[in-house]
Amino acid sequence: MNIDSIKNGIVIDHIKAGQGMRIYDFLELDKLDCSVAIIKNASSSKMGKKDIIKIDSNLNVDLNALGYIDPNITINVIKDSVRVKKYHPELPDTITNIIRCKNPRCITSTEQELPHIFKLIDREKDEYRCLYCESKANA
Amino acid sequence: MRHIISITDLSLQEIDELILTAQDIIRHPDKYRDVCRHKKLATLFFEPSTRTRLSFEAAMYELGGQVLGFSEAASSSAAKGESVADTIRTVCCYADIIAMRHPKEGAPTVASVHASVPVINAGDGGHNHPTQTLTDLLTIKAEKGQFNGLTVGLCGDLKFGRTVHSLITAMCRYPDVRFVLISPEELKVPSYVKIPLKEGNVPYTQTTDLVSVLPELDILYMTRVQRERFFNEDDYVRLKDSYILTPEKLSHAKADLAIMHPLPRVNEISTAIDVDPRACYFKQALNGKFIRMALILKLLEVAA
């Protein structure tokens, strides 16, 4: 299967197989009018299978938020068809509207407009807690 | 402008200063009679309360200020579906400071984001109750003279007991404090409350047996099993009588034990104990007014 290489944009590589659509939805890539490719179940020497997303545009979003969804992914920044940066996203200090608080006693359970915000409490344990009720995040 | 949402919003030094101010108010009430003249406190109680609301209101009146607000969600626009944010934006047009109680955890945090005046958390669900903790600390200071080195037993509903959560968070910052957590298995302290205990290497034990640990306690903090926190009535009925403190059980306790309770009680402390000199729970209720006076002064940046 051939996917054209991109000139200026981002390649999100080493996505755990099956998680590609979640990242596609989170980044709202359906709203872009540039070329976007999702490759599912690509062969990987490290992972066996992986997903890849190629975006032929520079996204104006904090890609570190992806670190919560899948900390092992690789982000490649492409300029003039050359990779100029490659990195793993760090766990963000806060994540907003990626996961929802499941505590039925939390204010977010009744106030539908509130953003679901979680703060990073322990970087080593990847532990996030709800900003409002301090319940532990369950991904 | 400061908000007090959690007891950790106050440093140990600030807590000491509040206690000193409260003690000065107790000794010299006349000094503080009129210092909040023309200031208004809004008491927004989306959940019933006796002591907390009335002590806030009494505190503001004794400082010469005025009070407005509501004592149940049904008498506010919350009953029409108004959000916390919109209620707070509105109340900020009329008041200089807000004390807010809400059944949902984190509601005061939401309020603080939208408020242009100081917000005090007067209890949010089973989460936090920082002004009860200030009340408790003032009482412990009066009874024990210090916080260091105390063995503090907390008994009853430690899962939904917001006063317990805030008191543990506050007391674990003092040296050589030890906790004995006494509860049924289903009502143990939530994991987030134990984070500062683990981080600070604060010693604590968990048990289901009150009588066996009574002799080692300097403070026994009893709590009510709260019917309003259960979604299942059967669970409440099964757990509500887990611990009942009686004069017979107290015979095993230290002579200078301080028996505390945030009140209201149901039956977890026998009324026969009310005349025991170790009973401090009505002193707590009185201290609640003085420490809230001190907190209002601090947040309004008013000096006597």
Total residues found in chain B within this entry: 304
CB contact under 8 A, B109 and A129: no
A40, A20 contact by CB (below 8 A): yes
Q: Chain B 178-197, CB below 8 Å of chain A: which residues?
A: 191-192, 195
Q: Where in chain B is the domain with CATH 3.40.50.1370?
A: 7-128+285-300, 130-282
Q: Where in chain A is the domain with CATH 3.30.70.140?
A: 9-87
Q: A132 and B110: CB-CB below 8 Å?
A: yes
Give the closest-approach CA distance of A71 to chain B in angstroms.
24
Average pLDDT over residues A91-103: 91
pLDDT at residue A125, as a whole number: 86
Whole-number pLDDT of residue B151: 98
User: Tell me, what's the pLDDT at A74?
Assistant: 94
Which fold does the domain B7-128+285-300 belong to in CATH? Rossmann fold (3.40.50)
Do B195 and A121 make contact, defined as CB atoms within 8 angstroms? yes
Q: Is A4 exposed, middle or buried (0-12, 13-18, 19+ CB in 10 A)?
A: exposed
Give residue-wise pLDDT tens across range B127-146.
999 999 999 999 999 999 99
The DSSP code sequence of B233-272 is HHHHHHHTTS--B-HHHHTTS-TT-EEE--S--SSSB-GG
List the single residue in B106, B195, B229 with the smallest CB-CB distance to A107: B106
* Digit-coded pLDDT (tens) for B77-134: 787 788 999 999 999 999 999 999 999 999 999 999 999 999 999 999 989 999 999 9
The pLDDT tens digits for B259-268 are 999 999 999 9
CATH topology (fold) of B130-282: Rossmann fold (3.40.50)
The C-alpha atoms of residue A11 and residue A17 are separated, in whole angstroms, by 15
Matching residue, tokens 């009744």? A110
Whose structure tokens read 């599912």? A40
Is the domain A9-87 a CATH 3.30.470.10 member?
no
Q: List CB contacts (< 8 A) between B195 and chain A.
A: 121
Here the ipTM equals 0.86
Interface test with chain B among A131, A133, A135, by most B beta carbons within 10 Å: A133
Whole-structure pTM value: 0.86
Residue B23 identity = Q
Q: How confident is the model at residue A4 (pLDDT cuts 50, 70, 90)?
A: low
